Chains A and B, each alone.
Chain A
Amino acid sequence: MGAIHWGSFFFLFFALVTCTFAVAVVISNNIVRMATYLVASLCGVAGLFFLAGAQFLGAMQLMLYVGGTVVLLIFGVMLTARGPFVSMRSGGGQWILALLVGGALLAVLMQTVAAVRPLAAPGAAVANSSTEKSDGKPAEQPRATADGAAEPLITTQLGAGLVGVRTDQVGRKTAAGDNAVVAGYLLPFEIVSIHLLVVLVGAAYLARAKRRLASSPSLPEEGQ
């Protein structure tokens, strides 16, 4: 076969782009440059999605994250900036704190990556997992693809997996005997999104105009 596996090559390329610019975000001092590097990093992630054939997800990444978030970020930076080029210097304590938080998140993510069963194409995974089971009872035949070719992974399956329906595990019985419909990640997902909303509201509150109208004492003390 070919000397180079081009899928892996492009995966590594996009992963390198993502990681390099992510590191650049951390290292950089200028906040607008940080935003630019973040755009490049998120574009790399979108490239990974496109490479995986998840076109909708890739376009979504570009639309929501690269488009929306970064424009808002730059917006906020420009509206709140005091000087022409904001430079951020972080002290040693902040670095340590950030490393701790980031390391903890990385550990959680790595553990999750190792724990989740790989989402394989329907048919193949079920066949493998059913043969692995040693209780001798042949698992029911998975809804095998008629032509033998594995269906490509699409985002529908990923989304179904998020709410707990693993389409690749349909034929499989768990140890308890019920179907492989497990508790999904919808509730944590929603909690995180509410959290993000709170963060957004907080950011808007912090970035609001600090001036208060001195000539109108009838206004309440808190201002707006």
Chain B
Amino acid sequence: MAEALIKNLNVAAGYQWIVYLLVGLVQVALILALVMTCVAVYTWMERKISGRIQDRMGPTRVGGRFGWLQPVADGLKLLCKEDIVPREADGLLFRVAPYLDFCAAFVPFLAMPFAPGWVVQRLDTAVFFVVAIGGLEVLGVILAGYASGSKWSLYGAMREAAQVVSFEIPLGMCVVVPVLMAGTMSLETITQQQAGWFWYWNLMNPFALVTFFIYMICATASSNRAPFDLPEAESELVAGFMTEYSGFRWAMFFMAEYCAMLLLALLGALLFCGGWNGPIPVATMLGLTPEHGAVAGFAGNCLGCLNLVIKGFLGVIFMMWLRWTLPRLRIDQVMTTCLKYCVPLASAMLVGTMVTVFVFRGGLALSPHKAEEAPTKASRQTDNDCKLKNANCKMQIDGHSASADAPSSNLQFSFCGFHFAIPPTRDGGA
């Protein structure tokens, strides 16, 4: 983007860095605006949803009937509160920890694509990057718990460490499943391979479907949400690792939590639920693709971005629903959930996906040859894999695009190197 601007505006070589700086700032500001708006809406949503679930109204006064200005009032209140550092605390670490926590939750957004090409930094290993940085959030929490110099905080931090470090394992395994199916770690390519109707989504693969639910459980656990909110269990530990915090630093922890929820929901949407591809390919039907001009492409991207944000909201609403429905687990139950259920199930799904990818080279899903239809720049690097997959994927519906030597059947597929062809007279139940 910066290169295009420099080319179009004929920026002199000595001033190009200003363009880079401005472009970078604008991109980060856009992401920050999106995330902060979502966080503000989530605090309001959480109150309304919890109210409804508990048969009460939630906020109703501030800003009219639905209390929609409640986040602003909350923010003002938090900014006006006194900033306290306990005498027993390690001042430096105590002050740094909330920002570290928030950075770890926010930085992965820099590699998240919101529409084709709408990504701050296009990384070939975006999945890995997002998971790696997202996992650093635990550091801020542990530092906060340790530096507070309080027993409650330390207990909360210890629980957090035990819980998050355990749940990183199944979470990582779950993330690998769609990566295996797509043959790439680029989030953009993974999403582009799911383009089309909703039955092209990874979710339609039985293994990925189970994996998605494990993923949502692990995501809930690693963002410290109830029923896994042991680190801040308010009925036992006051407020866990944030007991000693007040005012803006406390708000940073909350922003980090909602930020992480949004991040994990968006990642789940990108990996499993088609990302910016809606259930019905409205944008393609209306011709809102880059082939029909820049304006149409932009409109299509906006639609895709909206799709993705809606999916992210649905994921977050699911987490809130869980929180206000289930009671808190004990630590042994948390560990049982992770080690006895999530890890074995995720491993089984991983092995199953491996076998599926190996045996049915094209995948079980009814995916036509997406990668060949629209080879993107990002997908070219994994072209070998894709070519292999597509060359071996003889599962074609409608014989019109089939190879010339086998036009006689309308459904054929290969299994372990054996080619099967179902003649057109039979009703191929694909």
Contacts and interface: CB of A to CB of B under 8 A. Distances in A.
A78 B158 contact: yes
A15 interface: no
Q: Binding site of B, secondary structure by majority: helix, strand, loop or mixed?
A: helix
A55 B139 CA distance: 22
Nearest to B150: A84
A36 B17 contact: no
B13 interface: yes
A74 B161 contact: yes
A56 interface: yes
B132 A32 contact: no
Contact of B13 (A2, A71, A74, A85): A2
B16 A2 contact: yes
Nearest to B123: A55
A2 B135 contact: no
Nearest to B20: A6
A62 interface: yes
A59 B161 contact: no
Contacts of A84: 88, 149
A96 interface: no
B139 A59 contact: no
A120 interface: no
B78 to A, nearest CB: 25
A109 interface: no
B125 A59 contact: yes
A6 B24 CA distance: 14
Contacts of B200: none
Contact of B132 (A62, A71, A75, A78): A62
Given A32-B147, A55-B125, A75 B90 contact: no
Interface in B126-166: 128-129, 131-133, 135-136, 138-139, 142-143, 146-147, 149, 154, 157-158, 161, 165
A36 B131 contact: no
Nearest to A3: B14
Interface residues of B, number: 32
Q: Binding site of A, secondary structure by majority: helix, strand, loop or mixed?
A: helix
B79 to A, nearest CB: 27
Nearest to B135: A67
Given A74-B161, A78-B146, A32 B131 contact: no
Contacts of A6: 17, 20
Contacts of B128: 56, 59-60, 63
Sorting the interface of chain A by its residue count into under 10, 10 to 19, 20 to 34 or 35 or more gives 20 to 34
A34 to B, nearest CB: 11
Contact of B136 (A2, A4, A62, A74): A62
Contacts of B138: 71
B129 A55 contact: yes
A71 B16 contact: no
Interface string A56-89: 1011101100110011001100100000110000
B124 interface: yes
B239 interface: no
Interface string B93-134: 100100000000000000000000000000111001101110
A71 B96 CA distance: 17
16 contacts: A4-B17, A30-B90, A33-B92, A55-B125, A59-B128, A59-B132, A60-B128, A62-B132, A62-B136, A63-B135, A66-B136, A67-B139, A70-B139, A71-B139, A78-B161, A85-B149
Interface of A: 1-4, 6, 30, 32-33, 36, 39, 55-56, 58-60, 62-63, 66-67, 70-71, 74-75, 78, 84-85
Given A32-B146, A33-B93, A67-B139, 20 more contacts: A2-B13, A3-B14, A4-B17, A6-B17, A32-B143, A32-B147, A39-B139, A55-B124, A56-B125, A56-B128, A58-B129, A59-B133, A60-B128, A62-B129, A62-B132, A66-B136, A67-B135, A67-B136, A71-B139, A74-B142
